[in-house]
């Protein structure tokens, strides 16, 4: 019953609903519908060809697996994938580099549509007078991400096993590190996902900053198209395919048939003991990072449910009788 659909839904589904109305009207209206559909599709194609998506990748969250999908799809779907390599793996850009990056991405028309990716904190493009791109990201349970990174620095991964990592030769387990209160496993090392979403302000990078947590949540809601979680990577890919088919058409099928779901795994990793987990969960940093993770997870589930409901509505309304 169309009378029960909200105004926003009617606007969003204008194309599909016009199809339903035309089925019960005369030929003249059908001709008008065709003209409308042509204009709709032409405008949509022009808009999508200028699409810019930025993935400011949080380390050790399955970001390599996801970017691998984009690299493999870009030729088929005719878009560009550009890696932003930040000097010395610094997640914060200088003020001049922030301006240059925002300007270059906004003005580089020959590289549109494009997915830009790199390990850097959120950047407010509108602050520098540029158009707002679509931001996406993936986050992970904070303790899992920290443990994975700890062992990654010692043993590397199966993606590039020949590389010697910074802590190569250090065989201390994560449990032993926590017991000895070494800096490598300090709770402050978990303070990464919140500042990545908070941005470039000084307070973003102060461990356990309540202000940073609030800003990170605001940015996630107001500036990110969708934020998935490592534990539900397939669903994240599905949401992107349904939301941005210009880039991600066929992504789920490719993800399921390829090895991209487990492209990069730490070679050796010992799960932490319950005692270690309980120690780290007492820290304000874990509590805030976990708060942010749970907030992002709830929002992702909300978006996923909406888009799946919408797709079901479209299928049921326009499928042949």
Measured distance CA(139)–CA(62) in Å, rounded: 9
Whether 117 sits among the annotated catalytic residues: the reply is yes
How far is 283 from 280, CA to CA, in rounded Å? 6
With beta carbons less than 8 A apart as the criterion, state whether 289 and 194 touch: yes
As a whole number of angstroms, the distance between CA 215 and CA 196 comes to 11
Judged on CB neighbours under 10 Å (0-12, 13-18, 19+), 231 is middle
Which residue in the list 47, 91, 119, 262 is annotated as catalytic?
119
What's the Cα-to-Cα distance from 102 to each of 98, 107, 108, 123, rounded to whole Å?
Answer: 6, 9, 10, 8
Contact 137, 56 (CB under 8 A): yes
Catalytic residue among 80, 117, 200, 301: 117
Query: Annotated catalytic sites, by residue?
Result: 117, 119
């Amino acid at each position: 019953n169309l009378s029960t659909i909200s105004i926003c839904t009617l606007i969003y589904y204008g194309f599909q609903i016009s199809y339903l109305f035309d089925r019960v009207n005369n030929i003249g209206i059908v001709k008008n519908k065709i003209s409308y559909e042509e204009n709709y599709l032409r405008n949509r194609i022009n808009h999508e060809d200028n699409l810019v998506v930025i993935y400011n990748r949080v380390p050790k969250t399955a970001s390599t697996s996801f970017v691998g999908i984009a690299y493999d799809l870009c030729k088929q779907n005719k878009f560009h994938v550009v890696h932003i390599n930040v000097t010395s793996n610094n997640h914060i850009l200088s003020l001049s580099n922030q301006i240059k990056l925002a300007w270059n991405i906004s003005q580089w028309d020959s590289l549109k549509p494009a997915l830009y990716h790199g390990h850097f904190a959120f950047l407010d493009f509108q602050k520098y007078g540029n158009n707002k791109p679509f931001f996406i990201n993936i986050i992970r349970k904070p303790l899992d991400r920290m443990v994975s990174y700890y062992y990654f620095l010692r043993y590397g991964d199966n993606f590039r096993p020949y590389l010697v990592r910074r802590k190569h030769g250090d065989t201390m387990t994560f449990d032993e590190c926590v017991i000895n209160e070494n800096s490598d496993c300090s709770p402050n090392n978990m303070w990464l996902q919140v500042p990545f979403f908070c941005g470039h302000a000084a307070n973003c990078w102060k461990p356990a900053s309540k202000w940073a947590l609030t800003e990170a949540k605001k940015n996630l809601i107001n500036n990110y198209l969708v934020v998935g979680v490592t534990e539900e990577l397939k669903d994240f890919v599905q949401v992107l395919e349904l939301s941005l088919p210009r880039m991600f058409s066929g992504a789920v099928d490719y993800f399921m048939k390829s090895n991209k779901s487990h492209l990069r795994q730490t070679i050796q990793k010992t799960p932490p003991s319950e005692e270690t987990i309980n120690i780290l969960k007492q820290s304000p940093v874990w509590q805030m990072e976990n708060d942010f993770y749970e907030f992002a997870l709830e929002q992702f589930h909300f978006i996923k449910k909406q888009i799946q409901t919408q797709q079901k509505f479209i299928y049921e309304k326009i499928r042949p009788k």
